[in-house]
Structure 1
Amino acid sequence: MNLPEGLEARPLTLDDAAAVAVLLAAKVVADDDGENLDADDVAEELGRPGLELARDTISFWDGDQVVGYGLALASHSATDLDRVRTDGVVHPDWRGRGLGTELTRWIIDRARELHEATFPEVPGYVGAGAVATNAGATELLTGLGFEPVRYYFDMRRPLDQPVPEVQLAGGFELIPFDAAREDDLRETHFEVFSEHWGWSRPTPEAWRSRTIGSRAFRAAQSYLVIADGRIAAYVNCYEYPADTAATGIRELYIGQVGTRRPYRGRGLARAALAKVLAEAARSGYGRGALGVDAENPTGALGLYEKLGFSTHQKYVNYQLALA
Structure 2
Amino acid sequence: MGTFEGWPVGIDARPIDKADAGAWAELLAAKEKVDQEGENYDADDLVEELSDPKLDAEKDTIGLWADGTMVGYGAVRWRANVIDVDRVGTEGTVHPEWRGRGLGAALLPWIIRRAGEVHAERHPEVDGEVNTGAISTNLGAHDLLTSHGFEECRYFFHMQRTFDAPVPEVTVPEGLKVVAYDPAYDRRLMDAHNEAFMDHWGSTPKDQETWKVWFTGSRAFRGDVCRLVVDGDKIVAYALGYEYVADTEATGIREIYIGQVGTLRSHRGRGLARLALAELLTESQRTGYQRASLGVDADNPTGALGLYERLGFTQVSKTISYRLPLN
- Is TM more than 0.5 here? yes
Runs (5+) with no aligned partner, structure 1: none
Q: 2:146 aligns with which of 142, 145, 150?
A: 142
SS in 1 for 2:33: helix
Q: Which letter does structure 2 place at the counterpart of 1:290?
A: L
User: How many residues matched?
Assistant: 323
Query: What displacement does 1:132 show?
Result: 0.5
Hey, what's the Cα distance between the residues in 2 that align with 1:195 and 1:31?
31
Q: Which letter does structure 1 place at the counterpart of 2:136?
A: A
Q: In the alignment, which residue of structure 2 is the partner of 1:172?
A: 176
Tell me the TM-score normalized by structure 1: 0.98
Q: Does 1:258 align with 2:226?
A: no
Hey, what's the Cα distance between the residues in 2 that align with 1:201 and 1:276?
24
Q: In the alignment, which residue of structure 2 is the partner of 1:104?
A: 108
Hey, what's the Cα distance between the residues in 1 that align with 2:218 and 2:212?
7
Q: Does 1:25 align with 2:29?
A: yes
Query: What displacement does 1:5 show?
Result: 2.3
Return 266-275 or 147-156, whichever deviates more. 266-275
SS in 2 for 1:21: helix
Q: In the alignment, which residue of structure 2 is the partner of 1:127?
A: 131
Percent of aligned pairs with the same amino acid: 52
Deviations along 1:172-221, one digit per CA (max 9) or x if unpaired, are: 10011011011100000000111110112232101221110000000111
Hey, what's the Cα distance between the residues in 1 that align with 2:211 and 2:325?
26
Q: Does 1:301 align with 2:305?
A: yes
Tell me the TM-score normalized by structure 2: 0.97
Runs (5+) with no aligned partner, structure 2: none
Q: 1:192 aligns with which of 189, 196, 200?
A: 196
Q: CA RMSD in A?
A: 0.9
Q: Does 1:310 align with 2:318?
A: no
Alignment of 1:1-323 (within 5 A): 1-323=5-327
SS in 2 for 1:37: coil
| Contact 1:115–1:124 under 8 Å retained in 2 | yes
Hey, what's the Cα distance between the residues in 1 that align with 2:236 and 2:224?
19
Return 194-203 or 20-29, whichever deviates more. 194-203
| Contact 1:169–1:267 under 8 Å retained in 2 | no
Q: Which letter does structure 2 place at the counterpart of 1:75?
A: R
Q: Which letter does structure 2 place at the counterpart of 1:208?
A: K
Query: What displacement does 1:73 show?
Result: 1.2
Query: What displacement does 1:157 show?
Result: 0.2
Deviations along 1:49-93, one digit per CA (max 9) or x if unpaired, are: 210010111110012210000011122122322111111111111
Deviations along 1:122-168, one digit per CA (max 9) or x if unpaired, are: 11101010000000000000000000000000000011221111111
Query: What displacement does 1:4 show?
Result: 2.9
Hey, what's the Cα distance between the residues in 1 that align with 2:93 and 2:49?
14
Query: Structure 1 segments of 4 or more deviating over 4 A?
Result: none
Hey, what's the Cα distance between the residues in 1 that align with 2:53 and 2:313?
33
Q: Which letter does structure 1 place at the counterpart of 2:186?
A: E
Hey, what's the Cα distance between the residues in 2 that align with 1:92 and 1:318?
21
Hey, what's the Cα distance between the residues in 1 that align with 2:271 and 2:84?
33
Q: Which letter does structure 2 place at the counterpart of 1:261?
A: R
Q: Which letter does structure 2 place at the counterpart of 1:105?
A: P
